[in-house]
């Protein structure tokens, strides 16, 4: 009897294994579209902008909200010029003040002096995004320090009604951001996340939903702009909930994860999330932003960069200058791919790939002796994420010399190293979960403006 069980369980495990190598966890089309955006922007704006705080307590008077020169077109144009593909506005932060004239509360722009209470920041941003061809997303804080219903189950209805307003009145919404933050002394409140998420799926089926642990996009586990050196797009979501997730686990993901929930790297261009005049001299430089790009997009994540509008309702000059220079540096670095004779690996299409088994080296010609210091590798993630480790070598005229080893690849892996001279490189994937669909390989010489 025992041996029958043994054979049966062996067969089952073989079957399961065969299944897992042929049908890996794959992204939904909305997740694939999200990841290819690479850089999206966060817009933190509310009463905090006027009180100089990071977290309002909900007692702020709407009378203080008066961004006299507000021009969302100025924000979105600056983002467009800097290559951003989406903007997410804090429609409501923890203070409960609504940037749109919600029918559910008086605590909103409708009771502010701005545009005599006739303004709607959410509408202005949505319209500007459409005009400049950016996608549009909303942040609606579950934690609400103003609304009296907070802490009772009827708050869930309040929240869902607000969500419905945002999801039905502003055209296509591409991302909804569910922040898990809740102060230590906050009232007890069980959020109906299942209900919130169902509403988003029903009203905006193409939108991705962010929370600490998905369902579509997960938090990267820090606000410093660092995806894990190893970063899987898969995790096991069981037991995780917004506000209750191990940040190290989220940072690296899980090779054996059953759900596709890629990491989003949210970080601010300034020390705070909201505008503070005192931080005008502390705006990240373009070089610093480029480094964030390598640490997020270059590690299989997405860079969600916060750029907070100021009290006038405008992006400030130092922020605009850094954004502009950031994109100009990236464009210069990645302008000329030195790889030749590999049309499938250089056509910027993930769907055209070369299948590469583990431990089979692929030699990549550079046409002639070239100086280079950056390499970009991409997998066709439409069919899952399979590279667990690999190495790159270069030909020094006599021998193959080691250049760099790496772990996960996924959507994109960017390698940085001191410049070498060579006419070919060799890529070996040393550990994979099944045959790798190698989509793109790029070899570049970085812009001198990146620095070392």
- Closest to ligand FUL by CB, 219 or 444: 219
- Closest to ligand FUL by CB, 196 or 273: 273
- Closest to ligand FUL by CB, 54 or 81: 54
- Minimum CB distance to ligand FUL, residue 130 (Å): 24
Residues in 74-133 at the binding interface with ligand FUL, rule: CB under 6 A: none
Sheet bearing 387-395, strands edge to edge: 354-356, 436-444, 362-379, 413-432, 387-395, 400-406
- Minimum CB distance to ligand FUL, residue 247 (Å): 12
Residue 27 to residues 81, 113, 119, 413, Cα–Cα distance (Å) = 29, 45, 38, 18
- Minimum CB distance to ligand FUL, residue 306 (Å): 7
Binding flag, residue 186, ligand FUL (CB under 6 A): no
Q: Do 301 and 231 contact (CB within 8 A), yes or no?
A: yes
- Closest to ligand FUL by CB, 78 or 140: 140
Cβ within 8 Å of residue 38, ≥6 positions away: 85, 297, 302, 303, 412
Strands 387-395 and 413-432: antiparallel
Build a one-symbol-per-residue string for 197-236: x at contacts with ligand FUL by CB under 6 A, - elsewhere.
Answer: ----------------------------------------
Q: Which two tokens stand for residue 50?
A: 């006027």
- Closest to ligand FUL by CB, 144 or 266: 266
Please identify which residue in 32, 33, 104, 181 interacts with ligand FUL, judged by CB under 6 A.
181
- Closest to ligand FUL by CB, 89 or 443: 89
d(CA 149, CA 26): 40
- Closest to ligand FUL by CB, 56 or 384: 56
- Minimum CB distance to ligand FUL, residue 138 (Å): 13
Q: Is 425 exposed, middle or buried (0-12, 13-18, 19+ CB in 10 A)?
A: buried
Residues contacting ligand FUL: total by CB under 6 A: 5
- Minimum CB distance to ligand FUL, residue 186 (Å): 11
Build a one-symbol-per-residue string for 248-287: x at contacts with ligand FUL by CB under 6 A, - elsewhere.
Answer: ------------------x------x--------------
Where do we find the tokens 């006038």? 312
Strands 263-268 and 259-260: unpaired
d(CA 340, CA 343): 8
- Minimum CB distance to ligand FUL, residue 309 (Å): 14
Residue-by-residue DSSP string for 135-160: EEEEEE-S--SS-TTTTSTHHHHHHH
d(CA 74, CA 85): 15
d(CA 6, CA 10): 6
Binding flag, residue 326, ligand FUL (CB under 6 A): no
Residues in 44-63 at the binding interface with ligand FUL, rule: CB under 6 A: 54
H/E stretch holding 234 reads strand 234-235
3-state secondary structure 296-309: HCCECCEEEEECCC
- Closest to ligand FUL by CB, 225 or 390: 225
- Minimum CB distance to ligand FUL, residue 179 (Å): 5
- Minimum CB distance to ligand FUL, residue 296 (Å): 15
Measured from each CB, the residue nearest to ligand FUL is 181
- Closest to ligand FUL by CB, 125 or 438: 125
Binding flag, residue 179, ligand FUL (CB under 6 A): yes
Binding residues (CB under 6 A) for ligand FUL: these are 54, 179, 181, 266, 273
């Amino acid at each position: 009897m025992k041996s029958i069980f043994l054979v049966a369980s062996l067969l089952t495990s073989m079957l399961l294994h065969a299944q897992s190598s042929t049908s890996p966890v794959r992204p939904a089309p909305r997740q694939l579209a999200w990841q290819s955006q690479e850089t999206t922007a966060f817009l933190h704006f509310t009463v905090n902008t006027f009180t100089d705080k990071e977290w309002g307590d909900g007692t702020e008077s709407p009378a203080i909200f008066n961004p006299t020169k507000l021009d969302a077109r100025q924000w979105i144009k600056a983002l467009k010029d800097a290559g951003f593909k989406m903007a997410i506005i804090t429609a409501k932060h923890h203070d409960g003040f609504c940037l749109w004239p919600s029918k559910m509360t008086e605590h909103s722009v409708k009771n502010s002096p701005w545009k005599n209470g006739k303004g709607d920041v959410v509408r202005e941003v949505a319209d500007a995004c459409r005009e400049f061809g950016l996608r549009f997303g909303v942040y609606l804080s579950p934690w609400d320090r103003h609304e009296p219903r907070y802490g009772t189950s009827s708050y869930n209805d309040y929240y869902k009604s607000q969500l419905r307003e945002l999801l039905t009145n502003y055209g296509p919404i591409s991302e909804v951001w569910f922040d898990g933050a809740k102060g230590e002394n906050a009232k007890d409140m069980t959020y109906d996340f299942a209900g919130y998420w169902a509403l988003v799926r029903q009203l905006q089926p193409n939108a991705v939903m962010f929370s600490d642990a998905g369902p579509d996009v997960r938090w990267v586990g820090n606000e410093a702009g660092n995806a894990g050196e190893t970063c899987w797009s898969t995790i096991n979501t069981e037991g995780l909930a917004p506000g209750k997730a191990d940040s190290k686990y989220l940072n690296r993901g899980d090779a054996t994860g059953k759900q596709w929930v890629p990491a989003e790297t949210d970080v601010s261009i300034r020390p705070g999330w909201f505008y503070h005049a005192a931080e005008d001299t502390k705006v990240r430089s373009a070089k610093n932003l480029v480094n964030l790009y390598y640490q997020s997009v270059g590690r299989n994540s997405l860079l969600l960069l916060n750029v907070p509008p100021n009290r006038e309702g405008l992006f400030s000059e130092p922020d605009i200058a850094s954004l502009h220079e950031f994109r100009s540096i990236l464009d210069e670095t990645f302008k000329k791919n030195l790889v030749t004779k590999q049309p499938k690996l250089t056509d910027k299409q993930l769907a055209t790939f070369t299948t590469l088994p583990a431990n089979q080296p692929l030699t990549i010609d550079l046409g002639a002796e070239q100086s280079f210091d950056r390499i970009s590798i991409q997998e066709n993630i439409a069919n899952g994420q399979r590279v667990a480790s690999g190495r790159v070598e270069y030909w020094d005229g006599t021998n193959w010399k080691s250049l760099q080893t790496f772990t996960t690849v996924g959507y994109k892996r960017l390698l940085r190293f001191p410049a070498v001279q060579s006419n070919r490189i060799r890529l070996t994937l040393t550990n994979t979960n099944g045959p790798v669909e190698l989509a793109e390989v790029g070899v570049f010489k970085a812009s001198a403006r990146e620095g070392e």
